[in-house]
DNA sequence: AGCGGAACCTGTCGGC
DNA sequence: TGCCGACAGGTTCCGC
């Protein structure tokens, strides 16, 4: 569900509300989500102060007192909700943190793909420690990308989804970025010129900045912490638009499958 | 090493 | 109405 703009929106809202609160206790309603020893997780988290909340790629990192971190990945359908303690439990509540200020922070997840990792060493946290640079990092340059994609015959769309190359892009924004850049998603990553790669980088930053401005894309599940929707879905140009007309050239938008996932493109604008 | 496909789990929607 | 397959914003694992 959530890609970088959605995760960042959630992090902004959590960061506004949570720091300074203490976790009084924690209930785990679906064990598979919390990695490792559940009892240890509950014991360590208890009475810890929430100091800071940050994003890295699509991960949410909660800094707790005593140098512990909770690293959360929302996967497809995870979300956070902040509610008064009195709110009735809902069907898809999976992890609940009861806070010192009479609120509870609920992790809700229909499909239960999401993960919680508790660690005292962020470098050791698998997944997190393999991430490539954030899209705005100065490490992301056409020259570096060109070098990194040598010997990679995978389609450029698939390369954009690889979190080791750039961290944070997902299925919606990969399609939107390549449309904006005028690049066909099936082109082999290693066949793109440095010049084309710099166009893709520019489109990536433009689209992500815009999506951040609109608090992300709410198509089905994604909601903000306050349950409001993002609004970038109103600005999508190809994702989910199969059989509609391209806004630039009126050709039919086409849906194809790459690596078991949908890709949308305009065959005329994206050569 | 790099790549494609299956698996993880639940819900919704469209077709017959 | 009911059943069945396809599909959904992501990642990891396994075999070639």
pLDDT tens digits along A48-88? 999 999 999 999 999 999 999 999 999 999 999 999 999 99
- From the candidates A42, A144, A255, A261, which is the catalytic residue? A261
Task: Domains for chain A: give ranges and CATH numbers.
Answer: 4-130 (3.20.190.10), 142-265 (1.10.8.50)
User: Is there a catalytic annotation at residue A3?
Assistant: yes
DSSP 8-state class, residue A242: T
Which pLDDT does position A180 carry in this prediction?
98
Give mean pLDDT, residues A2-11.
97
Which pLDDT does position A227 carry in this prediction?
86
Of all nucleotides in the shown strands, which has a C1' nearest the CA of A222?
C9
pLDDT at A1 > cutoff 80: no
| Residue A264 CA distance to nucleotide C16 C1' (Å) | 29
pLDDT tens digits along A179-217? 999 999 999 999 999 999 999 999 999 999 999 999 999
Please tell me the distance from the alpha carbon of residue A257 to that of residue A186, in angstroms, as a whole number.
Answer: 10
pLDDT tens digits along A33-57? 999 999 999 999 999 999 999 999 9
pTM above 0.85, yes or no: yes
Sequence-distant contacts of A88-91: CB under 8 A, at least 24 apart: none
Q: Is the CB of A57 under 7 A from strand C?
A: yes
Provide residues 89-118 of A with CB closer than 7 Å to any strand C atom. Answer: 111, 113
User: Is there a catalytic annotation at residue A124?
Assistant: no
pLDDT tens digits along A117-143? 999 999 999 889 999 999 999 999 999
Q: Mean pLDDT in chain A?
A: 96
- Is the Cβ–Cβ distance between A269 and A189 less than 8 Å? no
| Residue A11 CA distance to nucleotide B15 C1' (Å) | 41
User: Is there a catalytic annotation at residue A58?
Assistant: yes
Which pLDDT does position A99 carry in this prediction?
97
Of all nucleotides in the shown strands, which has a C1' nearest the CA of A115?
C11
pLDDT tens digits along A224-258? 988 899 999 999 999 999 989 999 999 999 999 99
- From the candidates A56, A58, A223, A224, which is the catalytic residue? A58
| Residue A243 CA distance to nucleotide C16 C1' (Å) | 37
Which pLDDT does position A51 carry in this prediction?
98
Residues 6+ positions from A63 with CB-CB distance below 8 Å? A50, A51, A52, A53, A54, A69
Q: Is the CB of A9 under 7 A from strand C?
A: no
Which pLDDT does position A126 carry in this prediction?
85
Query: Whose CB is within 7 A of strand B?
Result: A 32, 91-92, 110-113, 151-154, 158, 259-260
Identify the residue whose Cα has the smallest distance to the C1' of B8. A113
Please tell me the distance from the alpha carbon of residue A80 to that of residue A97, in angstroms, as a whole number.
Answer: 11
pLDDT at A94 > cutoff 90: yes
């Amino acid at each position: 569900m959530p890609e970088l703009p959605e995760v960042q929106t959630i992090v902004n809202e959590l960061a506004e509300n949570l720091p300074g609160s203490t976790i009084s206790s924690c209930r785990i309603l679906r064990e598979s989500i919390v990695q490792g020893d559940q009892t240890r997780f509950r014991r360590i988290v208890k009475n810890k102060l929430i100091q800071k909340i940050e994003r890295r790629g699509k991960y949410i990192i909660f800094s707790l007192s005593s140098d512990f971190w909770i690293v959360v990945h929302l996967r497809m359908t995870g979300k956070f909700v902040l509610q008064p303690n009195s709110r009735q439990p809902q069907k898809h509540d999976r992890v609940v943190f009861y806070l010192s200020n009479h609120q509870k922070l609920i992790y809700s997840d229909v499909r239960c793909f999401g993960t919680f990792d508790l660690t005292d060493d962020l470098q050791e946290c698998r997944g997190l420690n393999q991430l490539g640079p954030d899209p705005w990092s100065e490490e992301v340059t056409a020259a570096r990308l060109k070098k990194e994609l040598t010997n990679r015959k995978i389609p450029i769309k698939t390369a954009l989804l690889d979190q080791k190359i750039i961290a944070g892009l997902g299925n919606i924004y990969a399609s939107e970025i390549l449309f904006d850049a005028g690049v066909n998603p099936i082109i082999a990553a290693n066949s793109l010129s440095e010049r084309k790669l710099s166009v893709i980088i520019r489109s990536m930053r433009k689209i992500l900045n815009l999506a951040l401005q609109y608090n992300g894309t709410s198509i089905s599940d994604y909601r903000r912490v306050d349950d409001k929707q993002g609004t970038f879905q109103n600005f999508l140009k190809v994702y989910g638009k199969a059989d509609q007309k391209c806004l630039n050239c009126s050709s039919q938008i086409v849906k194809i499958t790459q690596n078991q996932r949908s890709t949308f493109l305009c065959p005329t604008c994206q050569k």
